[in-house]
Amino acid sequence: MRIISGKFKGKTVLFTKTNSTRPLKDSVKESIFNIIVHSNLIKVSIEKSKILDLYSGIGSFGLESISRGADKITFVEKDKRIVETLNKNLEALSVREKATVITEEVTNFLKKIKLVKFDIFFLDPPFKSKNFLEDLELIKQNKIYNKKHIIIIHRERNCNEKLNDIIRPIIIKKYGRSKIIFAKFLD
């Protein structure tokens, strides 16, 4: 795995292989960032943004965001072995000051967080998990999003969860086994 663009373009990112993780393919990651940068439907910029990377794994989305000028990334990942790899990636890139790493279940973290607002939310839950719907509700209830925000969700291509009660999908793209949903919270 590697950083695609920005300050750390071409740098390798360490990956820990487990049964519960799957890497975000470079081609899918590149498409996500192209949509953020070039779509007139998305009103949020990566530069200077505050990002909440949930189910972050080794942090490939957040690290790419830092490389592209994001101000602060909060990574939330429950697996301690994977968090060790994430921390090694942060150290290798010397970007520790741009990151907060939380080793906790996403739902537990979201139940406690208050008075912080984010511009970009990236959710990459296990494909079989439906808990992320509750997590979206918690983000909405706690109002931890800025008026201009974007939610990006990585799901399995054939997943058909009922999202329209919580968020308004703006763009949906399919890449191989993956489906990427760009959305906003309903007001």
- Residue 2 counted as domain residue: no
CA-only gyration radius of the chain, Å: 15
**pTM for the structure as a whole:** 0.92
105-108: long-range pairs with CB below 8 Å, 24+: 105/78, 106/54, 106/55, 106/76, 106/78, 106/131, 106/132, 106/135, 107/131, 107/134, 107/135, 107/138
Q: What is the average per-residue pLDDT within 169-180?
A: 91
Report whether pLDDT(26) > 90: no
The Cα 51–Cα 49 span in angstroms is 6
CATH number, domain containing residue 91: 3.40.50.150
Q: Which structural domain, as residue segments, surrounds residue 34?
A: 26-185
Report whether pLDDT(14) > 90: no
- Residue 18 counted as domain residue: no
- Residue 160 counted as domain residue: yes
* pLDDT-based confidence at residue 157 (cuts at 50, 70, 90): confident
- Residue 173 counted as domain residue: yes
- Residue 76 counted as domain residue: yes
- Residue 176 counted as domain residue: yes
- Residue 19 counted as domain residue: no
How many domains, the chain? 1
* Of the candidates 32, 85, 36, 34, the residue with the CA atom closest to the CA atom of residue 56: 85
Return the pLDDT at 22.
Answer: 64
pLDDT single digits (tens) 36-55: 999 999 999 999 999 999 99
- Residue 20 counted as domain residue: no
The Cα 28–Cα 53 span in angstroms is 16
The Cα 3–Cα 29 span in angstroms is 10
* Of the candidates 66, 174, 179, 156, the residue with the CA atom closest to the CA atom of residue 120: 66
pLDDT single digits (tens) 122-143: 999 887 777 888 999 999 999 9
Task: Report the residue count for the chain.
Answer: 187
Return the pLDDT at 21.
Answer: 62
Lowest mean pLDDT among 26-30, 41-45, 86-90, 94-98: 26-30
pLDDT single digits (tens) 142-151: 999 999 999 9
CA–chain centroid gap for 153, Å, is 7
